[in-house]
A and B are shown apart, each in its own frame.
Chain A
Amino acid sequence: MIPQFKDETRRYWNWDNAAKGAYIFAIGLFKKAVIADTLALFADTGFAASSLGFCAAWATALSYTFQVYFDFSGYSDMAVGLGKLYNIDIPFNFRSPYQSESIGVFWRRWHITLGRALQSYIYFPLGGSREGKLKTYRNLLITFLVSGLWHGAAWTFVLWGALHGLFNALERVFSKPLSKVPHWLRVLGTFFIVNALWVLFRADSFANAAMVYRGMADVSNLALTQVGTLAVDGFVGIPVVLNTVYVLGLLALLAFVCFRCENSCHMLARFTCGRKTRIVTAILFCIALVHLSRESVFIYFNF
């Protein structure tokens, strides 16, 4: 980053960069204000419940899984966009992390700058993977414990970090058999592990996390219409059935986006100053503008 500040050519307004910056900023704003903040209602309602049926528990967990991704990557995109306006190239922090086939790969695609920092300042000084298998696993565990603590001073964060470290280490132990598993199954398996661990990350306490986990395991209590109650915001009494369709439909759509669509980095690489991109950018920005007036929580106060 520092060499960029010293580069004199970057000190003058650049229309190309400004256009790209506006484009990616609008995408980031849409991801945060529209998608993440909509999911925040579902997740907050679910985690605040006293008990959840099977479907509602999974909807709650998935809502937070997608919320944290779109929220965090949305902010990162906005930072990249603003940087571009000033001719500064800020690295993308997310590269389709839910398409990862292992926890190890996940951490190379999720919050990339944090992963690099932990690697440089914790993992490598501990010895990295150069001192034998057992020490490698130990170093992974310690690094992810530190990651957990970095996110917040609560035992749920610590356990979340420790479990990521554990799964990372287990992947290395079982790397040969895992390599024979079909790619799509590894991606799905990784996603489910990450999704389950996000419950710990979001929960106020172990009891809160246990409440959600109990629901996720309780196949005898489907309670499908409870899913609709996650979207109740108190302004309009929309029928629960419609709300249920809305929540499930939205989660399905976002799953498709995360697994099959290109990420912001690809979109920026393909950007051209055409009419289509102009219309899409304007529409995304205006929809996000409307959503900004909704009450929104700044989740990073939590960690």
Chain B
Amino acid sequence: MAKKWLLRLLALILAIVLLMCACAYLVDPYMQYRVRDNQYLLNSRLVTPGLIKNYDYDTVLIGSSMIQNTDMGLFREILGGKPLKITTGAISLTEIQKLTEKINEVGKAKHFYICLDQYLFAPEKWNDMDRFPDYLLDDSLRNDYRYLLGYETWMRFIPIDLGLSAAKKLGISLPEKFTRAMSIDALEDWRDDWTFGAEATLSLYSPPPQGTSFDPEATLTRMKTRFDEYISQLDFENGEYTFFFPPYSALYWNYAREAGNAETYLAFKAYAEGKLLECKNVRVFDFQNADFVTDLDNYKDYTHYAPEINDRMLGCFANGKYLVTAPTETEALIVKTDAQVTELLERYPQVPH
């Protein structure tokens, strides 16, 4: 009796596990096997690997929170193509490298728009890579059990996604925040979660803490090494690459000056520009040259700009405004940035400096 009980238990467990795998495969909340737009609640870190594999695209827009408010409909209208936004919350350079490697492997992308956040290249180590779902990026079926029987799959996304699907079928109208979080184009779009404007930006600003150590030489060497490592994985022979430095506000450079790392980051920018302009099929845009960086009404904090700026950047990709045609010397970048900070401080004398 006990023997029969135990063997039937094992058979029942196997049957339940297979049934769960089948259900997870059919629902597929992370789009690992098929893409379903406007149906599921999207977590960027979990769905991006599936989108890279299964979405229909020929253009990728890769970056941090700086690109998350990009209107992908406008992108199609101005720049054409079939774009896909590749971004996750608090993305790290290591994560960008992993995702870029996968994009290259899949081979669909012919046009690359890559946002270069200087600060991504500075850290020695990022803290959250142990939570990165490597098993979603690879093509191995053997580790798909981590997805099909995963905690987040079963305890979060399947119940929520089935609930959302049922609500849609029943004609229940969902809050706009939910419908936005279900759109691939609007992945990680945070425009409605924050207040933009000088008052909001200044209220969030505080000067850098005193007494923190910063090694300019070691940091610059590390940034250059990590940059070289990143661009070595890009195939400039096959594909068109547009790199851009996002328009941090002049308030950011005021902070960087006080923190003592402005010159290092600008030296890195000069280095990166120089290396990129040597490459074939590459364009470089420097939006940090833009005149609007001194107007804090365009921002929600010292780096994050309003969606209207994302729209303007798309126009610049088309018309070539802020295109860098020759490498800039670090000294020239410092002079330009200092002038922007001076203009900002005249406009907003309440900024501590």
Q: Residues of A at under 8 Å CB distance from B? A: 15-16, 18-19, 22, 235-236, 273-274, 277-279, 281-283, 285-286, 289-295
B152 and A285 contacting across the interface, CB-CB below 8 Å:
no
B149 x A290 contact (CB < 8 A) = yes
Closest 8 pairs between A and B when the two form their complex, measured CB to CB: A273-B5, A294-B151, A15-B2, A19-B2, A15-B3, A282-B12, A16-B2, A293-B151
Among residues of B, the one whose C-beta sits closest to the C-beta of A37 is B151
Q: Once bound together, how far apart are the Cα atoms of A278 and B3, in whole Å?
A: 12
Cross-chain contact B152 with A235 (CB below 8 angstroms):
yes
CA distance A19 to B8 in the complex (A): 11
Q: Which residues of A contact B153 (CB under 8 A)?
A: 290
Among candidates B13, B150, B155, residue contacting A286 with C-beta atoms closer than 8 Å: B13
Name the B residues within 8 Å of A235 (CB-CB). Answer: 43, 46, 152, 156
Chain B residue nearest to A296 (CB atoms) is B151
Q: Does B20 contact A (CB under 8 A)?
A: yes
B3, B13, B153, B160 pick with most chain A CB within 10 angstroms: B13
Contacts of A290 in B (CB 8 A): 20, 149-151, 153-155
Q: Which residues of chain B come closer than 8 Å to A295, judged between CB atoms?
A: 131
Q: For the complex, what is the distance from the CA of A16 to the CA of B154, rounded to whole Å?
A: 33
Q: Do B17 and A289 touch across chains, with their CB atoms under 8 A apart?
A: yes
- B: interface residue count bin: 20 to 34
Q: Which residue of A lies closest to B12 (CB)?
A: A282
Please classify the interface of chain B as helix (H, G, I), strand (E, B), loop, or mixed, using the class held by over half of its residues. Answer: helix
The 8 Å CB contact of A278, one of B8, B131, B160, is B8
CA distance A273 to B1 in the complex (A): 7
B157 within 8 A of A: yes
CB of A241, distance to nearest CB on chain B (Å): 14
Kindly identify which residue among A15, A279, A283, A289 contacts B6, using a CB–CB cutoff of 8 Å.
Answer: A15
B146 at interface by CB-CB < 8 Å: yes
Considering the complex, give the chain A residue whose CB is closest to the CB of B145. Answer: A293
A278 x B12 contact (CB < 8 A): yes
Give the docked Cα–Cα distance between A286 and B12 (Å): 10
Question: Which residue in A18, A22, A282, A291 is a CB contact (below 8 Å) of B16?
Answer: A282
- Give Cα A236–Cα B16 distance, bound, in whole angstroms: 26
The 8 Å CB contact of A293, one of B2, B4, B9, B149, is B149
A278 engages B9 (CB within 8 Å): yes
Contact A282 B155 (CB under 8 A): no
Residues of A within 8 A of B4 (CB): 273
Residues of B within 8 A of A22 (CB): 6, 9
Question: In angstroms, how far is the closest chain A Cβ from the Cβ of B212?
Answer: 22
Query: For A16, what are the chain B residues with a Cβ–Cβ distance below 8 Å?
Result: 2
Determine how close the nearest CB of chain B comes to the CB of A286; give it in whole angstroms: 5
Asked if A286 contacts B16 (CB within 8 A), the reply is: yes
Give every chain B residue within 8 A of A283 (Cβ-Cβ).
Answer: 16
